[in-house]
Structures are given as C-alpha cells and as structure tokens.
C-alpha cells in the first residue's frame, strides 16, 4: 500500500507529464510558418534576363551589327577623304613647283620688261596646261587651297609663300605701265629673282 508521501510524488509527476503534453499539443496546433518570399529581382537582374532571352539576343545583335556597320562606314568615308586630300595636295604641289620653275627659267633669259612680264605671267595662269582644272588658278589661290590640308610647320611655310606671291603680284603690277621693249633693269631682275628663290625654298615636306 502506497504511503501518503509516495502518492504526492506520483501526483506531482502526473501533473508534470500533463503540463508537458499540453505544451506539445499547443505547439502542434500552431499554424506552420510560411517561408519568406524571395526578394523581387532588381533592375540589373531583369535586364540580364531580358538580354538572355531570344528577343533580347536579337535586339543586342541588331544594335551591334548596326553600330559596327556605321563605324566601318565612317572609317571608309574618312579614308576616302584622306585619299582625295592627298591627291589634291600632290596636284597642287606639282602645279605650284612647275609654275615657279617656269617663271625662274624665263626670268633668267629676260632682256626686256616685256620678257619679265611674260615670266611673271605664271603668277596668274599656267603657260603649259599640266592640270586642266588648275591651269587658270593663280599662285595665291593654289597656296590658299593647300593650306587647310597641311599641318604644323607646313602651314607656316605656305602662309609665308602666299605673302611672297602677293609681293610678286605687286612687282608685276609696277611693270605693267612700262614699255615692253624697255631693257630690264638689273635691280628689278634681282628683286624678282630674290622673291622667286625665297618662295622655292619654302618647299612642302615630302609625303
């Protein structure tokens, strides 16, 4: 037969078990916690997903092809302009040097003012048509035409040559009223020769 003390201990154990069981039943009755929703994708992620889609790949390839074609077209256009400028520069250089050589040659053989006038005619027109489109261009206009196609010291040389050509034009203007059969003064010959030599020494750099 159980003693009173044992009965109290058993009752206490039963109460403890009951409380544990009730706690477990309450925990089990609680609704399950739903997992947190994943964060919404950011702008960069959406762009990346779009570009990896079929539409995105098509759009990207179209942009690349269009941009690449435009870039190549621009390069070709610039190359064509550079080639044309180089060709124009060669033609102008040849015409200028031909004019100056012809004027120097005629001036060395000049005896009269008329001969000097003929020699200086190359300032305004080529006596021998080498390049038809440049034949009737003046020396000054030829130098002005090549100026934008040059860089650095070549621009400076061309500017100096242009100013010397304008001085030649002034000398030619002073000779015009004089009779053609008048003997050419040596001072006049030396002045013209000095100007021509100064211009010829301002050669373009070889390309």
pLDDT digits (tens, 9 = 90+) for 109-154: 999 999 999 999 999 998 877 788 898 999 999 999 998 888 888 9
> 182 lies in a domain?
yes
Alpha-helical runs (H) found in 40-175:
43-51, 54-109, 113-120, 139-146, 153-175
Please report whether residue 136 resides in a domain. yes
**Per-residue pLDDT band at 28 (split at 50, 70, 90):** low
CATH of the domain at 148: 1.20.120
pLDDT confidence bin for 11, thresholds 50/70/90: confident
In angstroms, the CA 193 to CA 174 distance is 15
Summarised one tens digit per residue, pLDDT across range 47-89 is 777 767 877 777 767 777 677 667 677 777 676 777 787 888 8
Evaluate if pTM is beyond 0.85: no
Q: Considering the domain boundaries, does residue 3 fall inside one?
A: no
- Averaged pLDDT for residues 160-181: 94
| Domain count within the chain | 1
The verdict on residue 18 lying in a domain is: no
C-beta separation of 146 from 93 below 8 A: yes
Mean of the per-residue pLDDT values for the chain? 82
Does 45 fall in a domain?
A: no
The residue among 104, 151, 149, 146 whose CA lies nearest residue 123 is 104
Could you tell me how far CA 87 lies from the centroid of its own chain? 19
Range of the domain at 132: 81-201
């Amino acid at each position: 037969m159980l003693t009173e003390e044992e009965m109290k201990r058993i009752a206490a154990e039963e109460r403890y078990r009951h409380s544990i069981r009730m706690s477990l039943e309450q925990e089990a009755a609680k609704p399950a916690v739903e997992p947190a929703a994943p964060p919404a994708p950011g702008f960069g992620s959406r762009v990346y997903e779009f570009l990896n889609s079929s539409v995105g790949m098509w759009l990207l390839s179209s942009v690349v092809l269009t941009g690449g074609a435009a870039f190549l077209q621009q390069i070709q256009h610039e190359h064509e302009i550079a080639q044309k400028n180089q060709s124009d520069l060669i033609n102008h250089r040849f015409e200028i040097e031909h004019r100056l050589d012809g004027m120097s040659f005629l001036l060395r053989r000049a005896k009269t003012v008329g001969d000097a006038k003929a020699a200086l005619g190359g300032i305004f027109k080529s006596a021998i048509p080498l390049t038809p489109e440049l034949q009737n261009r003046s020396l000054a206009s030829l130098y002005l035409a090549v100026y934008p196609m040059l860089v650095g010291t070549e621009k400076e040389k061309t500017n100096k040559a242009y100013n010397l050509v304008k001085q030649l034009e002034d000398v030619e203007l002073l000779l015009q009223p004089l009779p053609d059969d008048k003997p050419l003064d040596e001072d006049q010959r030396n002045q013209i020769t000095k100007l021509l030599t100064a211009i010829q020494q301002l050669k373009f750099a070889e390309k």
